[in-house]
Amino acid sequence: MADNTVQFDQPQEPEEIDARPLSGRFTKPFQSEFSRVVNVFSAVILFAAIGTILWSSATFPKLDRIEAPDRALELMVSRMMEAQDGLHHAPVWQQRLTEWTLGSSEKERRQAIEWYRELVQTTGDPLSKLRLAILQGEFGQKQDALDEAKTWQNLAAPMPLFGQWIEAAYGGPTVKAERVGELQAALAETLPAGWFYNSLAARLAQQTGDQVLLASVALQREVRGKWLQDRSERLMIFEIACLFIGSAVLLSLVWLRNRQTEALRVHSPGVPPPWSGGIGTAVLLRGGALGALITMVFLSFPPIEHASLRALAIPLANLPLLALAYVHLLKPTELDFRSGFGLHIDRTTLSQLIGATLAVIAAGLWGEWVMGRAAEWFDLANHWTEWFDPNLVWASGSALTVSLLEYVIFAPVFEELAFRGLLFAVLRRRFSFVPAALLSASIFALAHGYGLIGFVSVLWSGFLWAWIYEKTGSLIPGMIAHAVNNLLVSLTVMALLR
């Protein structure tokens, strides 16, 4: 019997070689036989589900994914600009650190203008046209704003009034002070409080020399900016701490790799698993197809308002796959979920698990930083609807709790079991680490239905979590890293928008 331990860069043995561990525990022969017809039918359902996700992602209008895109974009852009205002009053070190972690403010401004252009072209919403003109007037495109405002004079109300606001604010001292005062009063009654109102009101106040209003707007901006900076500062410090502590652990692991190749191994069998690749593939196809059908049932109903029912969606969708895995993969090899996927925490290996988790979290953050700088260099960006989550922004307390439970607990546990514990492990029976990890991570990324940057980000995460499973033989580090990743994303959205 061959040793089950597989090195990172060691080619995989062919399928027919016995990969059972030396303990001799897995002596019961596999007894399950799967019908090819059922497997093919399951594959059709599963690939059709993935194809539907890709087709919807490519063809379904992105703005239609948000119930109130004008309201959502106004909130997001306002908070982004208010955070930039607050950063001007922050210490120099915080400004430098924020720019290093998040990129330049100039890029955010350009994105905000492009997002509003898209919204205006799609909806024609009058207030969105006004907000686009304000963005253009504030960020170096005054003439574009003025030219657009001229075309509003012959349109139905309220567009002529909006055009007068833009002309008075950004067209120079061409409007009498009395008229500016009237426009200011109308503005206060029409535009909701926030960054857009403050920006336009300040420009009008400058035209009349209204120092009282200017001071009031400046104070509002400072207070709002400081509030957002205080919320984001704690989150940024936590991320930086994870980054540098994990980086130190990661460097120590690289140093140890040349001296002790199994420094991270905490559990066996790990990968490749002791079950047949053919039966594993059948389990994945059948369980995945049943899960896809259950997900379709949940999606076919109107939005579920009862939070406890919505929380069951992810567990129920994964239940068929896990049940089939237990019956046909784990039980015949005398394993359970704890022993089959390394879900048992032992005191003797606790420090290794902590180190592995910190290392993979740091590697994920470094990857996100590199991708952010590369996206900025190539002028690429995620569409804002991909990370705007109404459940995190507008939902009630109970619905928010359910969403966090889904994102931070259910998704990491069940996705790691499915994509790393089963999909990656089955692929590892046939391939060496790199192709198995890349293929499983690609399927994982495709299933999320994101654009290019989102796809690459999820691909990198899936690759890392497969790597840490390969090295430790346990899904625990990947689950925790997955949970931390989702938690950081959720907290970032909530800190900025909720």
Residues 318-325 have a mean pLDDT of: 95
Among 109, 47, 44, residue whose Cα is nearest residue 78: 109
Q: Report the pLDDT value the prediction gives residue 229, as an integer from 0 to 100.
A: 82
* Backbone region of residue 379 per phi and psi (left: phi > 0; alpha: psi in -120 to 50; beta: other values): left
**200-237 burial: b if 16+ Cβ within 10 Å, else e:** bbbbbbebbebeebbeebeebbeebbbebbebbbeebe
> CA-to-CA distance for 382 and 455, rounded, in angstroms?
10
- Let me know the angle formed at the C-alpha of 27 by 25 and 30, rounded to the nearest 5 degrees: 125
Predicted confidence at residue 247, as pLDDT, reads 87
Mean pLDDT of 2-14: 40
User: In this predicted structure, what is the pLDDT of residue 77?
Assistant: 95
Q: Return the pLDDT at 257.
A: 60
Instruction: Give the pLDDT score at 88.
Output: 79
- Which residues does 97 contact at the CB level (< 8 Å), separation at least 6? 236, 240
Structure confidence by residue, pLDDT tens digits, 168-208: 889 876 667 777 788 888 898 888 888 999 999 999 888 87
Give the span between the Cα atoms of 380 and 372, in whole angstroms: 9
DSSP 304-339: P--HHHHTTHHHHHHHHHHHHHIIIIIGGGT--HHH
Which residues does 182 contact at the CB level (< 8 Å), separation at least 6? none
pLDDT at res. 100: 78
Q: In whole angstroms, what is the distance from residue 283 CA to residue 323 CA?
A: 9
Q: What percent of the chain has pLDDT over 90?
A: 43
Q: Is the pLDDT of residue 304 over 60?
A: no
User: In which band, very low, low, confident or very high, does the pLDDT at 21 lie, cut at 50, 70 and 90?
Assistant: very low
| Beta carbons of 359 and 249 less than 8 angstroms apart | yes
Amino acid letter, 447: A
What confidence score (pLDDT) does residue 13 get?
43
Condensed to tens digits (0 to 9), the pLDDT of residues 443-459 reads 999 988 888 899 999 99
Q: Predicted confidence band at 23 (pLDDT cuts at 50, 70, 90)?
A: very low
- Among 5-14, 234-243, 319-328, which stretch is predicted with the lowest mean pLDDT? 5-14
**3-class SS of residue 360:** helix
Query: Is pLDDT at 52 greater than 90 in this prediction?
Result: no
Measured at the CA of 57, the angle between CA 320 and CA 290, to 5 degrees, comes to: 10
- The per-residue pLDDT for range 381-423, each reduced to its tens digit, is 888 998 898 889 998 888 888 889 999 999 999 999 999 999 9
Q: Is the pLDDT of residue 42 over 60?
A: yes
Residues 257 and 87: their CA atoms lie apart, in Å, by 42
Task: Give me the amino acid identity at 36.
Answer: R
Predicted model pTM: 0.86
Give residue 24's pLDDT band: very low, low, confident or very high (50, 70, 90). Answer: very low
Q: What confidence tens digit (pLDDT) does each residue in 72-112 have? A: 999 999 999 998 888 877 778 777 877 777 777 888 899 99
**C-alpha span between 319 and 333 (Å, rounded):** 20
Residue 314: the pLDDT is 85
Q: What pLDDT is attached to residue 163?
A: 92
Share the mean pLDDT of the chain. 84
pLDDT category at 16 given cuts 50, 70, 90 is very low
Average pLDDT over residues 336-354: 88
Structure confidence at residue 382 (pLDDT) = 83
Q: Residue 27: which pLDDT band, with cuts at 50, 70 and 90?
A: very low
Continuous H helices in 124-276:
126-138, 142-150, 159-170, 177-190, 195-208, 211-257
C-alpha to C-alpha distance for 490 and 494, rounded to whole angstroms: 6
CA distance linking residue 102 with residue 99, whole number of Å: 5
pLDDT at residue 467 in the model: 94
Q: Tens digit of pLDDT for each residue in 271-299?
A: 889 988 889 999 999 999 999 998 888 77
For residue 59, what pLDDT is reported? 84
Q: Which of 61-70, 112-121, 203-212 has the highest mean pLDDT?
A: 112-121
User: Which has the closest alpha carbon to 416: 342, 363, 475?
Assistant: 475
- Nearest-angstrom CA–CA distance, 454 and 464: 16
What is the pLDDT at residue 270?
Answer: 83
Q: pLDDT value at position 3?
A: 42
d(CA 388, CA 380): 18
Contact of 337 with 343, CB cutoff 8 Å: yes
Domain boundaries, the chain: 41-63+231-497, 67-226
Instruction: Give the pLDDT score at 207.
Output: 81
